[in-house]
Amino acid sequence: MSNLRILMVEDNESDALLIDRHLSKHGFDFSCKRVDKSSHLKDALKSQKWDIVITDYTLPEMNGLDTLKIIKDSGLDIPIIMVSGNIGEDAAVEVMRAGVNDFINKDNLGRLVPAIKRELKELEHRKEHRETMKELEDAREEMELNRRREHEVKLLGKIVSGIAHEVRNPLNAISALLEALYQELEGVKDLQMYKTYINSQVERLNLLMKDLLELGKTDSTSGFERLNFVDLCCSAIDQWNKERDKKTSKVVFHNLKNLNSLEANGDYSRLKQVLFNLFQNASFYSPENKDIDLFLDYEKNDNTILIDVVDQGEGIAPEYLDNIFDPFFTTKKAGTGLGLGIARRIVEAHQGSLMLKNNDNKKGCTAHIKVSLNRNNSV
């Protein structure tokens, strides 16, 4: 055993030296601090971390039960081994029931080394158990949070989808009536300025209705077909680069496995919409003349398709990380704030996940898509 930190509660210096020599003889590399008063014990527990406590039963100011209570009250998980003279069977049973890990008679120190090794191993097991339970609790809380968010988003989707259907019909009627009005007033001076503005606002409402209807769609797989993710990425990138204006960023494709085909079941048009939404979001935050990178990969061991859309912007502000997928949340002056939420809903319908994170060693943000393939959706 190396670097063992021992806190010894003992008033007899000769007995303490006897224990020191016994441990050294059996190969322990340790440091030891000896205390014999309750106040000194409390200070020592606060001053540093201890691996084990070795305590006598009878001391001038306290006994073994007092020592045990002080350690328990500290909230620390430290094994306690009591090494004492003949204190009587009843007292030994009492301290063991109270929580002392082992009792050893000073005349039989041969049991001390195995007891220390055993308690340190048990301490490690308890530590691993606590860490495992914490990870499980954190995972449970995360799952519950995701479940509540998913339920809220689905409920919101149904509501806004219904509203969108109700608004779309009168909106179409308004568009038709406006077009008829324009024809009636053709040639009227200064009409074009108002026509342009009204058309832009109608188009904005149409876009909002389209996003609301998309948000309200179910996660049905009825529209799935066999598709090639390589072709999907190439087609989305090619269309984006051809249709983009000078203010938007070009997307560069990186086929990490140089695959010609990466097939899985999915909805081609909706997945293409996901990529367009991510391109649009990345382009909005990218500096001028900085490309967006799309990395396509396939992890055979996990049977997953991986797509990363990486920009070189300023990244996501920490205060926004928990809200970026919330419906209607946006930091843009224009836009509905639905694009990322819709993208995540579509990816989740494909048994996948979408997350955004700031890049570790450079500026910008990465949108990471992971699609896990099962027997009904396999490469």
Which two three-digit tokens encode residue 146?
A: 């995701």
Q: Is 85 helix (H, G, I), strand (E, B) or coil?
A: coil
Pair 50, 78: CB distance under 8 Å: yes
Question: Residue 279 has what DSSP assignment?
Answer: H
Give CA 205 to chain center in angstroms.
Answer: 35
Contacts of 25 (CB under 8 A, 6+ apart): none
- Give φ, ψ of 91 to 5 degrees: -65, -40
Per-residue pLDDT tens digits of the chain, which is 379 residues long: 568 999 999 988 899 999 999 999 988 889 999 999 999 999 999 999 999 999 998 888 888 888 989 999 999 999 999 998 867 778 878 888 888 888 888 888 889 999 999 999 999 999 999 888 888 888 888 888 877 867 776 676 677 667 777 777 777 788 788 778 777 777 676 777 777 777 777 776 776 666 666 666 655 566 788 899 999 999 999 999 998 887 788 999 999 988 888 888 888 888 998 999 899 888 888 888 889 999 999 988 888 899 999 998 888 777 777 767 766 656 665 555 677 878 888 888 888 889 989 888 778 899 999 988 754 454 4
**Dist CA 311 CA 315 (whole Å):** 8
**Dist CA 322 CA 376 (whole Å):** 32
Q: Shortest CA distance to 371 belongs to which of 358, 356, 361, 354? A: 354
Q: Is 247 helix (H, G, I), strand (E, B) or coil?
A: coil
Query: pTM of this prediction?
Result: 0.50
* pLDDT tens-digit readout, 44-78: 999 999 999 999 988 888 888 889 899 999 999 99
Which two three-digit tokens encode residue 210?
A: 């389209």
